[in-house]
Chains A and B, each alone.
Chain A
């Protein structure tokens, strides 16, 4: 079962990508850029989801995807015009399809009412005149009627990946004949064309037939006209097809269910009534009577399997994506001379992800760990060599330099493997904006920039929640209602901007709206009312803006579904901080607000300053350090009973002795004896950290303390230095916060004296 689970996991991964492609294509269609290629891509996405879902028996998903696919097929064939309104409907349908996928995955539920309504709407679009449901499949099959050339039959089987819909032409005619007769009965004709994959996946036609026979008495008619001569027979390819007459009280879906497990690996046609058999046989007999043609065609395609099968990518994609199928199915009569079609198909199909290798992330993590070890090891080696006093110009030292460069390159490349465009997160946002805007009856347009900005996967995975929160917040609280906007002389449609960019070794995510901005009076009032601050506090505009990050703060007057449950922005802030990032807000009344998220590009390596504190080696993240300096006595001023501050240019910043903050020592030495690192916390607050000595800058590999030991306040993580010692990485923000909470460190006695000198 594990294997099946694994395939299922891959399927859902694929679904994510397919849904993203789907949405991307539909958005393009909505903007009027939907050429045939886009429609095809959209169709393929839905079809692939359906195919994979069928293999796992995800019935509701398959059913909805089928209706969706039918409409898209009609759009593709031109029988339903491709309009902007249609694209809007399709977009909503894609949202519901995504819900179905999530539900199948066990995450969340589908609003079945909405799904059914959407299915009905899709059916109406497909064929405004027809009664829904039963007619849908007919549309699918009706197109190829004209395409009937016999050789196709022989050709198709070898091309096992292409379910050439038009092979079933005789049946199609029957369908129409049947419709004319309009004679409902409980006799069905099931046409089964197994593909080689069906057997390869250890499925078996005999089992299918046996399952069918459970529904009622069956009579299978076998067609071996495509079967090559014994000498030429590929024993593991499927050639024989069946037409089964089935008498049953069950309905079509019950018959379809039998084939659920082989969907995509077996072409299936179910028609009511029994006329089909004779017609089929007649048509096939004609084929059989022209053996020359068959031989010619069938010997040729055989090697094609060989060629197409070994492509490793195809293998990976295979279980979930019988994708190429529909393309051929859609082929208009013009494409009927079959031999040419299969060749054209692979060219047309290379969809997104074809040149992608799927790798278990754990393997990459392992690789990154190993490279980390390599970096540490290399640093150790360099240190040893240094200790032996080998001249820098010696061959050994030069070789070591090269090794260092190589190591660094390997590290960069490995990190690049894990880097992914933020697109995967951004893609989910248009839907969110649509939904939130609908719920709050606001008009919002999402503008996204920098989707291709790359960030480490570990960061990406945790970006989604904060961005979701911020966008919701921007629409719910930021944007005004269309009426208010009109009154303010703005476009009734608000714009929400989501941007990602690289800035000095960090990734910056900006969420901005052109709404009303933060109502500072109200924010202040609420904070006072909720007892978060005291009413007589004097705060700057910026400080007031930052009040919204306080736990338990919510400005929404009524609690809406969308946001305002009081768990909004403080949660965002905490999750961002957990990533080593910071969040800030800038707001201008009447013009909107901008939230800026700044995050490290990776959680695996860090540039840091190695310092000595009370005999311990610590690493201070370089990103936090503004400057380092040796304070002069006159710059250190006592403040209050215990604290002291450092005068830096025109301002004073609190002095924090790191050794004391972390509990390494009880009494701080004079700051003037040590080195001061001027650091900036994520909220922009500055502090001067006192250390004993600086060793220099180094790139260090982050080893999680939580995973290997436990969380320690003031310490972000650990690393291993070149000499093999473990060093702790200082959590600058926590250190500043600790000082604030504890009311500052006891002031050392000497500095006062020195200052007094």
Chain B
């Protein structure tokens, strides 16, 4: 049974702790991260996403990011985190 998590618009310092809590709550099942609303992605939330990704990999559960917004894709690339977070179709060209 897959669960979903919708990322807020603004993933800044204030969003990091709630985001972590949200991931912890949903652990143990395949997860879909809806990133279509994201307009800002900060370093701290990136860390949470990366840690979550690792955790899900460890659990052997699927972790997918669905419909990432342009800003999310762009910032993730800027961070050099596209390999970990984005599916192949978004990994393309460099920023």
CB within 8 Å of B: which residues of A?
194, 198-200, 202, 204-206, 209-210, 213, 217-222, 224, 227-231, 233, 235-236, 238-240, 242, 244
Contacts and interface: CB of A to CB of B under 8 A. Distances in A.
Contact of A230 (B41, B54, B80, B94): B54
Contact of B16 (A198, A202, A221, A235): A235
B52 interface: yes
Q: Which 7 A-B pairs have the closest CB atoms?
A: A220-B80, A235-B16, A205-B43, A230-B55, A230-B51, A222-B80, A235-B17
B43 A204 contact: yes
Interface string B1-39: 000000000001100110110011001000000000000
Given A206-B78, A230-B24, A230-B54, A235 B43 contact: no
B4 to A, nearest CB: 17
A218 B95 CA distance: 8
Contact of B44 (A199, A217, A242): A199
B73 to A, nearest CB: 13
B23 A230 contact: yes
Contacts of A200: 13
A219 B54 contact: no
B80 A236 contact: no
A238 B51 CA distance: 12
A460 to B, nearest CB: 42
A222 B43 CA distance: 11
A218 B74 CA distance: 13
Given A219-B80, A240-B43, A224 B55 contact: no
Contacts of B51: 224, 227-230, 233
Contacts of A235: 16-17, 19-20, 44, 47-48
B44 A238 contact: yes
B78 A240 contact: no
Given A228-B51, A233-B48, A194 B20 contact: no
Nearest to B94: A219
Given A217-B94, A220-B78, A233-B47, A205 B42 contact: yes
Give the residue among B43, B52, B54 with the most A Cβ atoms within 10 A. Answer: B43
Interface residues of B, number: 31
Given A204-B12, A235-B16, 13 more contacts: A199-B42, A204-B42, A209-B79, A217-B94, A218-B78, A221-B80, A227-B47, A227-B50, A227-B54, A230-B54, A235-B17, A235-B47, A238-B43
A230 to B, nearest CB: 4
Given A229-B55, A230-B23, A240-B43, A206 B79 contact: yes
A210 B40 CA distance: 12
Contacts of A198: 43
B65 interface: no
B24 to A, nearest CB: 7
19 contacts: A204-B43, A206-B43, A206-B75, A206-B79, A210-B78, A213-B95, A217-B94, A229-B58, A230-B24, A230-B48, A230-B52, A230-B55, A231-B24, A233-B20, A235-B20, A235-B44, A235-B47, A236-B13, A238-B47
A239 B47 contact: yes
A227 B39 CA distance: 24
A220 B78 CA distance: 6
B12 A224 contact: no
Nearest to A233: B51
Question: Which residue of B12, B47, B51 has the most chain A CB atoms within 10 A of its CB atom?
Answer: B47
Nearest to A194: B43
Contact of A199 (B13, B50, B55, B75): B13
B80 A224 contact: no
Interface string B64-93: 000000000001001111001000000000
Nearest to A226: B47
Contacts of B94: 217, 219
A221 B81 CA distance: 8
Contacts of B50: 222, 224, 227, 240
Nearest to A222: B80
Nearest to B75: A206
Contacts of A206: 40-43, 46, 75, 78-79
A613 to B, nearest CB: 68
Nearest to B44: A199
Nearest to B45: A235
Contacts of A218: 78, 95
Nearest to A219: B94
A209 B41 CA distance: 12
A248 B4 CA distance: 42
Contact of B43 (A199, A210, A217): A199
Nearest to B50: A224
Contacts of A221: 80
A295 to B, nearest CB: 13
Contacts of A222: 50, 79-81, 84
B16 A236 contact: yes
